[in-house]
Structure 1
Amino acid sequence: MEDEKSFSDICGGRLALRCRYYSPYCREFGLSSARLSLCSLTAVTCAVWLAAYGLFTLCENSMVLSATIFITILGLLGYLHFVKIDQETLLIIDSLGIQMTSSYASGKESTTFIEMDKVKDIIINEAIYMQKVIYYLCILLKEPGKPHEISRVVPVFQSAKPRLDCLIEVYRSCQEVLAHQKATATSL
């Protein structure tokens, strides 16, 4: 079963949450943010190139124009490959673990997997960001020798920064999977 809902991020931008329920104990959540706007990209590129042309007319050195074009193209490629994340995905399987994937605008993907026996809980935490209180979903990891202590906190959906209503939906579904996993672990 697949479900798609529209939410907004902390800045008011549009986010699409795609929920896939493969089974009662395997769920995938994908948050897609707005794609790179061609209008804003063109406006920034034109502004940089016009400034370079103005500098060229002052110093009459063609290297200024060549360097500006080269730096602009490299900057754009770097932004698309290392910064702009189009989609973040959280896959939770009760018997295996949690996989987080970030898909960049260039097509590059970054994946992190956390084994389920290392997961203590999934919570919604709050933080102060730019004079606002924001909420974020995070995974609490157990200390290997001490199951009651937390070794690390791994934030989820860092790039998308969804609002609380979106996080609550993902949180509730993850808690259902974790509850089943804990119930089967205690029955063994």
Structure 2
Amino acid sequence: MSNFMECDSVDGKKLNLNIDHHDVSNLCSEFTVKNLSTPSVIQKLAIVSWIIMLYLSYCCIFEISITVSVFVLIIVFYQVYRLVWCVKSETLLVISFVGLQFTTTFLCGNKRSQFIPWHSVSDVIINEAISLHRVIYYLAVIIQDGDSARKLIPLFQYTTPRLACLEQIYRGVQTLLGIS
């Protein structure tokens, strides 16, 4: 069973929340927040290639100093870096009695995953952070390592959904945490 919800990020970007329940007994749920505002790879590659072509044609016409060349190349490499590390979606997979897996998918196809075993999960909370002139809400997992050391692991750091979207995810995760 799958539920879709459109929401915004704290920066006003359009997001899509997809909640999938993978089994009938509701022991496994997947929460995916997809960034709908990311430009396609083709658009970004086209922009970077145009910058490079304009720069090369400019270099052929005029003599360029080394400092200007280095400055332009830094800008081009920065754009390529942004292309590679732009986040496409973030997914939280919760499997009761097994653990939580958080996956970040980048626009270029790279994925970064983090697994938290079920016995380490103490709670899942919606926390707030104050950033200059605004309050930002975020979902976090409290894990217990060893004796008394507790860690707070924030989730959905790149897509930063608003509170209404976080509440939907929170309710689903708390339902699964309540089963154990």
For the superposition of Structure 1 and Structure 2, which TM-score range results when normalised by the shorter chain?
0.7 to 0.9
Alignment correspondent of 1:184: none
Asked if the contact 2:48–2:80 (Cα under 8 Å) also holds between the matched residues in 1, the reply is no
Alignment of 1:82-161 (within 5 A): 83-146=85-148, 151-161=150-160
Does the Cα contact within 8 Å between 1:126 and 1:134 map onto a contact in 2?
Answer: yes
Letter in 2 for 1:141: I
Contact in 2 for aligned 1:49/1:69 (Cα 8 Å): no
- 136-145 or 31-40: which moved more? 31-40
TM-score by length of 1: 0.79
C-alpha distance in structure 1 between counterparts of 2:123 and 2:109, whole Å: 31
Deviation per CA, 1:26-49, whole angstroms, max 9, x where unpaired?
100011112226768767876797
**Distance across 2 between alignment mates of 1:108 and 1:57:** 36
User: 2:4 maps to what in 1?
Assistant: 4
Match of 1:163 in 2: 162
The one-letter code of the counterpart of 1:143 is D
Aligned equivalent of 1:21: 21
Q: 2: CA distance between counterparts of 1:118 and 1:153?
A: 12
CA distance in 1, matches of 2:103, 2:146: 24
Shift of 1:73: 4.7
Give 2:164's aligned amino acid. Answer: D
Aligned identity (percent) is 30
CA distance in structure 2 between the aligned counterparts of 1:96 and 1:12, rounded to whole angstroms: 35
Q: Distance in 1 between matches of 2:62 and 2:177?
A: 65
Which amino acid in 1 is paired with 2:133? Answer: Q
RMSD over aligned Cα atoms: 3.2
**Residue identity opposite 2:39 in structure 1:** L
Displacement of 1:80 after TM fit? 2.4
User: Residues of 2 paired with 1:42 and 1:64: CA distance?
Assistant: 25
Can you list the C-alpha shifts for 1:98-136, whole angstroms capped at 9, x where unaligned?
000000111100000000100000000001123101100
Task: Report if aligned partners of 1:56, 1:65 keep a CA contact under 8 Å in 2.
Answer: no
Q: Distance in 1 between matches of 2:109 and 2:15?
A: 19
Q: Displacement, 1:68? A: 6.7
Q: Which moved more, 1:153-162 or 1:71-80?
A: 71-80
Q: How many residues in Structure 1 have an aligned counterpart in Structure 2? A: 176
Q: Is the Cα contact below 8 Å between 1:56 and 1:62 reproduced in 2?
A: no
Q: What does residue 33 of structure 2 align with?
A: 31
**Which residue among 55, 70, 74 is the counterpart of 2:77?**
74
Partner SS, residue 81 of structure 2 = helix
Larger deviation: 63-72 or 98-107? Answer: 63-72
| Matched position secondary structure for 2:77 | helix
Equivalent residue runs for 1:45-60 within 5 Å: 60=63
